[in-house]
Amino acid sequence: MAKVVGAFNTVHSPFCYMPPERWNDVRAQRALRADVPMEDAATVKEKGERIKRGFETLRQKLAEARPDVIVIFGDDQLETLDWNNFPPFAIFVGPEFEGELSAADARFNQPGSGGGDGHSTARARLKGHPEFATSLLSGLMRRGFDPAFCMDAPKPEFGIGHAFLRPAESLTDMQTPIVPVLVNCFFAPQPTALRCYQLGKAVREAIEAHPGDLRVAVIGSGGLWHTPGTKDAYLDEAFDRETLRYLEAGDPKGGAAFFDAYKVPANDASQAVAERGRLSTGMPLSGGPQLGTREFCNWVAAAAVVDGRPWTVVDYVPVYSSPCGMAFAYSNGV
């Protein structure tokens, strides 16, 4: 029987991989809300060091868990899938996949660049785990879920998205097999945080029903509060800290309910996704914050795999240059 040996949640923002001295260069090309604080050189340097330490702590904890396979809950931002067919959940069941590494992210790592659609040339090829991924897929179908599946990357020019490559790059040895679980966080209508909690619970059952003797770690990728590149973007630090309190208490279901109960303010331009556009379908929304903040649902799914166990929040770093709430956490005693 397979068993869960670790659960981790991590941010994957491009700002984590950008020299901190460039943060305000990128900020200058964004239309942030007027009350978003400006961070000076000393502050961004200190926050950059905290982000490095956050990754280092999770990397060490994951290595101590010695997983044979890692399940990553992450979202796809039109990298692997597209609007021809965008399921709420999908599992990659192929033997290997590739994607872009952070160092070659042309949107942010070139001086004078504040955004764009440039593709990088630095890529990594990672191992999948077809046997376990197929077991997970069929196990979820026996438990009331009907996820889609990918046997290869539909868009080879992108591969698998950054929500999976970034945690692999920052937390793993890049040799341990990874099973990507694609969660539609971004595009309405999205699964609710409660549904993602239920997904995590079902994943735990499917893991424990797998006949192979595997050590399995899970990672929730993304978040916290951020609405990348939108007009009047800001950081709701109080909202982030409340979600983290639920995590620390080992109550992902409560955190999901808190998240789903949030109502987007009528005058919040940063979450205006009612019209179809680059970041939105224009279809009816699920409850809760919109755009990147919804990556907290990946955290909920990972926490539900170890439901009831408290978490240690390694750090919460409010980066106003982005703006994004960047956090790192792991579950205790798994």
Q: For residue 237, what are the β-bridge partners?
A: none
| Domain extent listing, the chain | 3-331
Q: How far is CA 317 from CA 27, 235, 320, in A?
A: 17, 11, 9
| Per-residue pLDDT tens over the stretch 77-111 | 999 998 889 999 999 999 999 999 987 554 555 44
Q: 67, 186, 195: which is closest to 140 by C-alpha?
A: 195
Mean pLDDT by 10 residues, the chain (334 residues): 96 95 94 96 97 98 98 95 93 96 63 42 91 98 97 88 96 97 95 98 98 96 94 98 98 98 95 86 90 97 98 98 97 86
Distance, C-alpha 298 to centroid of its chain: 6
Alpha-carbon distance 72 to 60, whole Å?
Answer: 17
Give the pLDDT score at 263: 96
Q: For residue 73, what are the β-bridge partners?
A: 181, 220
% of the chain surpassing 70 pLDDT: 95
Do residues 37 and 308 touch, judged by C-beta distance below 8 A? Answer: no
Q: How far is CA 98 from CA 42, 49, 137, 331, in A?
A: 37, 29, 21, 28
CA quadruple 139, 145, 149, 155: dihedral positive or negative? negative
Q: Which CATH class is domain 3-331?
A: alpha beta
Q: 180, 181, 332, 188: which is closest to 250 by C-alpha?
A: 332
Give the pLDDT score at 158: 86
